[in-house]
Structure 1
Amino acid sequence: MATAIRRNSQVGEAEWAARQELAACYRVFDMLGWSEMIYNHITVKVPGEEDAFLINPFGLHFSEVTASNLVKIDIDGNKLDDNPYPVNMAGFVQHSVFHRHLPDAHCIMHTHTTAGMAVSSVEGGLRPANFYACNFAGQIAYHDFEGVTVRSEEGERLIQSLGDKRVMLLKNHGILVMGKTLPEAFIKHWALQRACEIQIATASMGNMLEVSPAVVAVHQRDLYMAQASAKPGQADFDAMVRKVDRIDPNWRD
């Protein structure tokens, strides 16, 4: 395996903390079964450097990602460190356009989970027929499939499709979520994944019982009262990191 950068005077405290949080997230995704060989991406902006973000090294499985082997690139795709690993073009094209145009998109997550791809591939997408799906009613954008995302001209259409939403189902493709923090994006992805899994299970049993718009509105209004922390997703993410640490803590390196 190629060498990776190590923490040194050129990697400040804020960047190192972001690297560790992102590396932990990759391990959490793997633990939850959301890996897809060496593909898919989670990215975060580098604190204090609005035009720079961290992405997984292309060629490594999520279970191999560590704080030091994450690749630092700018929004034009240029490496900003001496990391020997390449970057997947599909990940760069999709994530860079959102990091470039959306100041609040600190963290972006894209996966090809079975449930996410299945629900994104049916007419109507996610329906408000279970607890978690009600979290997202009226808050999901959809983008038509245009093939593998390696062409920069698709970026403008991705931004148009997203609009003012921060959760999107890429039709025939999978899940895309973003958040002001990594834990916030994580809890969105987790809840959306659960909503998709439950919809698939429910659809196999017959007609789904959809929740009325009035009840959905009450549900979304009151969701904050079910949070364990004032910071969305923080307690949930921390709990998953503790589980990862019991399996293998080398993501911290």
Structure 2
Amino acid sequence: MNIPSLEGKVSAEEWRLRCDLAACYRLVALYGWDDLVFTHISARVPGPDHHFLINPYGLLFSEITASSLVLVDQEGSKISDSPLPVNRAGFVIHSAVHAVRDDVQCVIHTHTRAGVAVSAQKCGVLPISQQATFVLGALGYHDYEGVALHDYEKPRLQEDLGDGSFLMLRNHGLLTVGRTIADAFLAMYIFETTCQIQIAAQAGEDLVPIDTRILDGVAEAAHVQTDGLGGSFVWPALLRKIERSDASYKS
């Protein structure tokens, strides 16, 4: 798809955000977390207008570019001069989070096989891996209410996420938030890996749980592991990975 570049036509800050968000879409595809053209990743554009960037509906995540991302308002309606469609209904979950979490720049939602599988388990995330310990301290659960198309579900989504970074959508999938795109991606990487490990471990012998007292020190451990940088610690390496695969995300 031939989409004219927006570089130089939007602010330098918005262009950097567009490049990072497009890279995030490509990474989600590269790691196999995409679901054809379904699910979304949104990013709030700095400023007082509460505008957001989201994928044009109908493009594979591996096709997303910085210029193809569409600017929408809090309701998911297009405000940019883009010929590409957006899935306004698909923005319901994202708009619910952005409306109450000013600390959140990015929301990632996935329908991975492992994520949906664990979301369907009554036990939820089990404390059986190091990865799970990073999730459990900031994890909420949201009961399934059908396809998330209606605004009346928003208050419960907001309450169930609270001030956490991880939300398990029962019978549906995973959601992470972050103060940056890099933070939200790292959170999803940990969340998805947690679910993959749990499904694999449950196929074997009796599980060995981690002492829940260890959870109290997890936040400090995460801080140390990333030199206090969070997702920004790994983001440059992830961008290099994408660059080696396909640098067209920056177009």
Instruction: Quickly name the TM-score band, shorter chain normalised.
Output: over 0.9
Select the residue among 217, 230, 233 that pairs with 2:231: 233
**Amino acid paired to 1:28:** L
Q: 1:192 deviation in Å? A: 0.8
The RMSD of aligned alpha carbons is 1.5
Select the residue among 240, 243, 248 that pairs with 1:242: 240
Q: 1:90 deviation in Å? A: 3.6
User: Per-residue CA shift, 1:20-41, capped at 9, x if unaligned?
Assistant: 0000111111111111100111
Taking a change above 3 Å as real, the CA distance of residues 166 and 218 of structure 1, as seen in their structure-2 partners, is closer
The answer to whether the 8 A contact 1:4-1:84 is kept is: no
Cα distance in 2, alignment partners of residues 203 and 95 from structure 1: 32
The equivalences for 1:16-95 within 5 A come to 16-95=15-94
**Amino acid paired to 1:196:** C
TM-score (structure 2 length as normaliser): 0.95
Q: 1:164 deviation in Å? A: 2.4
Cα distance in 1, alignment partners of residues 132 and 49 from structure 2: 33
The equivalences for 1:204-243 within 5 A come to 204-227=203-226, 229-243=227-241
**Amino acid paired to 1:154:** E
Q: Which residue of structure 2 lines up, in the alignment, with residue 129 of structure 1? A: 128
Q: Which residue of structure 1 lines up, in the alignment, with residue 156 of structure 2? A: 157
SS of structure 1 residue aligned to 2:72? strand
The answer to whether the 8 A contact 1:53-1:72 is kept is: yes
Count, aligned residues: 251
Taking a change above 3 Å as real, the CA distance of residues 161 and 64 of structure 1, as seen in their structure-2 partners, is same
Q: 1:250 deviation in Å? A: 0.6
Taking a change above 3 Å as real, the CA distance of residues 8 and 21 of structure 1, as seen in their structure-2 partners, is closer
Q: 1:5 deviation in Å? A: 5.0
SS of structure 2 residue aligned to 1:233? helix
**Amino acid paired to 1:150:** L
**Amino acid paired to 1:244:** I
Q: 1:167 deviation in Å? A: 1.0
The answer to whether the 8 A contact 1:90-1:148 is kept is: no
For structure 2, the residue ranges without an aligned partner over 5 or more in a row are: none
Q: Which residue of structure 2 lines up, in the alignment, with residue 97 of structure 1? A: 96
**Amino acid paired to 2:185:** F
Cα distance in 2, alignment partners of residues 49 and 250 from structure 1: 30
The answer to whether the 8 A contact 1:35-1:62 is kept is: yes
**Amino acid paired to 2:131:** Y
SS of structure 2 residue aligned to 1:216? helix
